[in-house]
A and B are shown apart, each in its own frame.
Chain A
Amino acid sequence: TQLLEQSPQFLSIQEGENLTVYCNSSSVFSSLQWYRQEPGEGPVLLVTVVTGGEVKKLKRLTFQFGDARKDSSLHITAAQPGDTGLYLCAGAGSGGYNKLIFGAGTRLAVHP
């Protein structure tokens, strides 16, 4: 069974601080996605990483896929209150269409 473990589960920081969220597995994924979910809404895709070692940047957010495609990290620089939400990683298997396996999420609160 493929599992994705996210850490930390909860993170409470002040505006302007940097943070890193981790997503780890013992399984290899063909791709990995990061979603952000705000209260009362569904998850919204932030990025998809496909190649081992790949780094993608989205403004103040930097996403990295591990070389072995088993893990990923999300780094936020100078966090803002608007970054508050639940961050979910999701992995896709290889070959054909495969369902996504979601991690439990990291709940981030950024205080002004």
Chain B
Amino acid sequence: QVQLVESGGGLVKPGGSLRLSCAASGFTFSDYYMTWIRQAPGKGLEYISYISSTSIHTNYADSVKGRFTISRDNDKNSLYLQMNSLRAEDTAVYYCARVLDDSSGYSFDYWGQGTLVTASS
């Protein structure tokens, strides 16, 4: 069965860096676009970034552009999010999700359990 497991979250001081990982299993990872989505405490869902199946295409929300970098290693079935210059407002649960291309748009059909990032002094 499809599984996505995030890791790497934790407490970091504002201005610091963190690298999140998402280990995928149960499907052909290299066939799918992947995405990161976050949820601040008590708030709604916010799209952060996506990466194409071969890493050729990436996209970032304005809120993280220039600070976060998405990448993947298809040999290791893993997705990554390098987060630099972290701010208090980056505090959130970060989810990785698989992107489903249903020919009428894109949806997120499988999600990890999430990893909490706290940027605080």
B partners with A = no
Hey, which bits of chain B sit against chain A, CB under 8 A?
Answer: none
Hey, which bits of chain A sit against chain B, CB under 8 A?
Answer: none
